[in-house]
Amino acid sequence: MSGHSKWSTIKHQKGTADARRGQLFTKLSREIIVAVREGGSNPEANVKLRLAIQKARDNNMPMDNIERAIKKGSGETEGATLNEMIFEGYGPSGSAILVQALSDNRNRILQEVRNVFSRNGASLGEAGCVVWLFESKGLLLIEADNLNPEEIALRAIDSGADDVKVEQDHIEIYTRPEELETVRAALEEKNIPIASAEVTMLPKTTLELEEKSALQTLKLMHKLEELDEVQSVSSNVNFTSSVLESYYNQD
């Protein structure tokens, strides 16, 4: 799982999670809208909505935008009906690729995703072909500057975390999805700054690729993330630090 997390961390540090902030806010708004439609507009009674709002705040999304998204989700203002979709396929050298999208038009987003796969040496697969390789996990990332990793790890485990990985420049904390909020609150209570927190699909086991194929996989994943209606992209590739740095330092 670590390679996936390193990829997320470097994107966060370099500010490249989305090419445009407006695009990021649109994706965050969609998550809020769907959460409201599924579980209601009260964050206290809707865990998915609480997490979506917190994620929006973490990315400095204005409260006006958050409130508009909640109103759209509750039907107070008009908006298209969004549906959650998962697309599965194979990247370079047989890597597994999982794409999560929110769209009001399945045929449109399916065609867009298929085009990105085909243009980047990949192939879209049938439903169920790779999703079994992933599991839903809560993931917190903490930048390790001037922090005591052992103290953070102990605090996280005591508050319900499943696992903690200490990397060179950051700490990864894994939780069950339902424990993400509890662990986050316990860390914030000790004034430990959280770089990001989300429920995401992480690989149960990872695949090692040679550098060329790993770089091709990263390119594919970024092209998919650039699609407006794609919310997240996951892979089972273990991206090494050298591969990630090489990719993000390209002109």
Predicted confidence (pLDDT) per residue in 7-31, tens digit = 555 555 455 444 466 788 888 999 9
* Residue type for position 33: I
Percent residues over pLDDT 90 in the chain: 53
Residue 230, SS3 per DSSP: strand
Q: How far is CA 34 from CA 75, 202, 205, 231, 236, in A?
A: 11, 22, 30, 12, 27
Domain shared by 210 and 124, yes or no: yes
Residue 100, SS3 per DSSP: strand
Domain shared by 211 and 121, yes or no: yes
Of the listed ranges 124-128, 141-145, 200-204, the least confidently predicted one is 141-145
Predicted local confidence at residue 137, as pLDDT: 93
Domain shared by 116 and 210, yes or no: yes
247: in domain? no
Predicted local confidence at residue 4, as pLDDT: 55
* Residue type for position 207: L
Residue scoring higher pLDDT (249 or 3): 249
- CATH of residue 37's domain is 1.10.10.200
* 179 Cβ contact partners less than 8 Å away, ≥ 6 residues apart: 138, 160, 161, 162
Residue scoring higher pLDDT (15 or 231): 231
Residue scoring higher pLDDT (149 or 137): 137
Predicted local confidence at residue 76, as pLDDT: 75
Q: How far is CA 126 from CA 90, 130, 179, in A?
A: 10, 9, 32
CA distance 242 to 208: 13
Domain shared by 52 and 140, yes or no: no
Domain shared by 119 and 226, yes or no: yes
Q: State which residues form the domain around 11.
A: 2-74
| 185-191: average pLDDT | 91
- CATH of residue 194's domain is 3.30.70.980
Domain count, the chain: 3
